[in-house]
A and B are shown apart, each in its own frame.
Chain A
Amino acid sequence: MAINTEKNTYTVIFACIMVVVVGSILAFLASSLSDKIKENERFEKQQNILYAMGVNENQDEGSVNFIPTDRVEGEFSNYIKEQLVIEGDQITQDDEAYLIDMKKQLSEMKNGTTPRLPLLIGEKENKKFYIIPLYGKGLWGPIWGFAALDDQMVVQGVYFDHQSETPGLGANIKQRYFMDDFTGESILDGAQYSGIAVAKGNNDPLNNTKDDNEVDALAGATITGNGVSAMISQSVNLYKGYLETIRAK
């Protein structure tokens, strides 16, 4: 080889070229794919929201089947009747409320700004569903989801998802047997908005008791489970004011 790869100047030049080449490959890729990726993320949100209100293609007891992406947009506008943004005492309509990033709103809230909280009202078989987004921390990263409530604050369905919980342990929050347990539980304890706790020792693995504000925890996923409890109680308290007006109706 004619080039002396040990020289410092060579090393510096090599590093610069490498950074530029790799940087431009990734930048090109990211910008050319971003539209497609954004669209996928939008479809996913719609699927998740519909799933929480019980609009899905589940066939057996075990698996989670969403409305396919080619139909989801249509179904979404069929079932979701109103999209509200709650900003302090102000409530406005916004057709893209469901795209609001909860993570951003929650961190803005910490800085003292009033968050813009999305709330969706869906209707299925003449029954109204109030769908609120959830966002919190698991063991390794963020966890999020949606909960559909009826006008008496009883959970009609939930959907949870996570970024990087441990497969087989914390990742099981998106399994049917965990999510289905929430259906029928109330987020109210008396008149208190206490949410639903993921409890280890509630002696109710089949979740027959629906009025204890508790569901059975996942073995080996204590921190993720606690994260789910905290996430639900945080969201419920954020929406307390609006939910109270629904309940009073």
Chain B
Amino acid sequence: MALLTKKDASLILDPLADNNPITIQVLGICSALAITAELKASVVMAISVIFVLGVGNVVISLMRNVIPSKIRIIVQLIVVATLVIIVDQVLKAFAYELSKTLSVFVGLIITNCIIMGRFEAFALGNGPWKSFLDGIGNALGYGVILIIVGFFRELLGSGTLFGYKVLGDPVKMTGLYSTGYENNGFMIIPPAALIVVGIIIWVQRSRNTALIEDN
């Protein structure tokens, strides 16, 4: 990557695997449970978080020298809330359909701990460009896990992907269902997301033993 120095590139690449916000830092679990019953919702949420975290990190980073430390958490919260409301209003005016799909996520984005976590841990201490990369990287890392979880939950729970019946029709008993296969209803309820995330963490740590903490 000629555009980015090695250090800059690691800001984007680290959170994708070895410092993933969900599986390693264990942040943002709440929204990962709430909206991953469907692949489409996972993708929408991932894109929204990429935008909000990227821009938010830059804003906080630009303001980092003037924010009074006593009220920095409130300031961070206001920045996220404002950004999300702006996006929501603009979409409502110019892309109404899309805004309807997103409306469920507005509250979830504001309270997403990854966003506050990155503001607090990174943007307050680094310049805008680095903060931007860090924001994009962490949001991507979050999105990747969301999409993996959403993929398995929708496929195994509903037999569909993006709403398309990939395994055949369960009511008319075609495709895989003709062999006696049934959707696992457990996959569409939130505890299943924890189990899928757990399996991802297990696979990741067994492939990279450096990630396992000593007790």
Contact = CB atoms under 8 A, between A and B. Distances in A.
Interface stretch (A29-37, A71-79, A82-90, A194-202): A29-37
B86 A29 contact: yes
A197 B111 CA distance: 35
Contact of B189 (A3, A44, A69, A220): A220
Given A36-B93, A166-B34, A169-B37, A5 B103 contact: no
Nearest to B75: A18
B68 A10 contact: yes
Interface residues of A, number: 34
Contacts of B104: 163-165, 167, 171
Contacts of A169: 37, 188-189
A107 interface: no
B88 to A, nearest CB: 10
A165 B94 CA distance: 24
Interface in B6-26: none
Interface of B is mostly: helix
Contact of A220 (B41, B78, B185): B185
B71 interface: yes
B86 A15 contact: no
B154 to A, nearest CB: 7
A241 interface: no
B125 interface: no
B78 A18 contact: yes
Interface string B89-100: 110111010000
B68 A22 contact: no
B94 A6 contact: no
B41 to A, nearest CB: 4
Residue of B94, B104, B107, B189 with most partner-chain A CB within 10 A: B104
Interface string A122-153: 00000000000000000000000000000000
B201 interface: no
B35 interface: yes
B71 A15 contact: yes
Interface of B: 34-35, 37-38, 40-41, 65-71, 74-75, 78, 82, 85-86, 89-90, 92-94, 96, 103-104, 107, 153-154, 157-158, 163, 171, 185, 188-189
30 contacts: A3-B66, A5-B66, A5-B67, A5-B69, A6-B70, A15-B68, A15-B71, A22-B78, A25-B86, A26-B85, A29-B89, A29-B90, A30-B89, A37-B93, A40-B92, A40-B96, A44-B96, A165-B104, A166-B34, A166-B35, A167-B38, A167-B41, A167-B104, A168-B37, A168-B41, A168-B157, A168-B188, A169-B189, A205-B171, A219-B185
